[in-house]
């Protein structure tokens, strides 16, 4: 079930920022007290980021935040841009600034979880996702992110539970459907795995080939698991968390 659009202005920026925290979804922003003061400008920057011009987006966000230093949404988008550019220390600073201006900016809390996950700090990542859900219990993407962490920890039954919760909340989300398929895989339920893979594909998920590599054992979600010879680091990172926290072996 898709979350209701709360009528917050700035569909583009909110859409992108939620997307970078977990997936590109239009949803209800649970942080209406955002200090955004130039929505059209922020939306344009968000589109630059979404197009893959991360360095340009970072530069434009710095200029924007120089003019609007209390805009928590802008700081959150900047944090995600830094994650995309592998500047994790800068991302942390950006998310902390966002939360200083708006403690309810749950996407910034979830962004901190992404950083912890990237650093292998899985318990801290899980705590961040739980904190985001505490702010917004309907934040399906956080449940899907928890799926990835639980799989990395070998907590397969918990991973399936989180994945099902996320899918129940956001059943038309391709990345969440894909994560549920992977959770079924690690719980040895091939029938439901294949069913959810088809659903994810029909929803527009563009990394089905990577799912098949996971199913065949060529790639693995688990840290330290060996993959088949010839698998590149780039291919193992195709399903990045910034596009739905999809499994990143």
Q: What is the pTM of this model?
A: 0.77
d(CA 186, CA 42): 40
172 falls within a domain: no
pLDDT band, residue 243 (cuts 50/70/90): very low
Is residue 120 domain-resident?
yes
Lookup result for tokens 């709360």: 6
Q: How far is CA 202 from CA 36, 172, 178, in A?
A: 36, 10, 11
Q: For 81-112, write each residue's pLDDT tens digit.
A: 999 999 999 999 999 999 999 999 999 999 99
Q: CATH code at 74?
A: 1.25.40.10
| Structural domain containing residue 107 | 8-28+37-137
Give the confidence band of 35 by pLDDT, cuts at 50, 70, 90: low
In a domain, residue 170? The reply is no
As for how many domains the chain has, the answer is 1
Q: Is residue 192 part of a domain?
A: no
Residue 58, domain member (yes or no) = yes
Q: For 158-179, how does the pLDDT look when each residue is reduced to its tens digit (9 = 90+)?
A: 999 999 999 999 999 999 999 9
Count of beta carbons in the 10 Å neighbourhood of residue 218: 17
**Is residue 86, in this structure, part of any structural domain at all?**
yes
Whether residue 205 lies inside any domain: the answer is: no
Examine residue 127 and state whether it is found in any structural domain, yes or no: yes
């Amino acid at each position: 079930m898709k979350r209701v659009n709360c009528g917050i202005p700035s569909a583009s920026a909110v859409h992108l920022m939620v997307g970078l925290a977990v997936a590109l979804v239009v949803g209800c922003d649970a942080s209406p007290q955002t200090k955004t003061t130039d929505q059209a400008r922020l939306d344009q920057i968000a589109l630059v980021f979404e197009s893959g011009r991360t360095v340009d987006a970072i530069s434009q966000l710095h200029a924007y935040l120089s003019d609007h230093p209390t805009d928590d949404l802008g700081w959150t988008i900047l944090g995600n841009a830094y994650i995309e550019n592998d500047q994790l220390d800068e991302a942390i600073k950006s998310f902390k600034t966002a939360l200083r201006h708006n403690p309810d900016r749950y996407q910034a809390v979830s962004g901190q979880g992404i950083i912890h996950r990237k650093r292998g700090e899985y318990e801290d990542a899980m705590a961040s996702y739980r904190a985001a859900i505490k702010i917004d219990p309907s934040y399906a993407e956080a449940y899907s992110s928890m799926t990835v962490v639980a799989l990395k920890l070998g907590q397969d039954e918990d991973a399936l539970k989180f994945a099902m919760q996320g899918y129940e909340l956001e059943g038309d989300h391709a990345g969440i459907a894909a994560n549920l398929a992977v959770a079924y895989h690690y719980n040895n339920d091939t029938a439901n795995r294949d069913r959810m893979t088809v659903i994810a594909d029909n929803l527009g998920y563009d990394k089905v080939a990577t799912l098949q590599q996971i199913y065949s054992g060529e790639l693995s979600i688990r840290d330290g698991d060996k993959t088949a010879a010839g698998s590149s680091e780039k291919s193992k990172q195709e399903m990045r968390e910034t596009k739905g926290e999809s499994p990143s072996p």
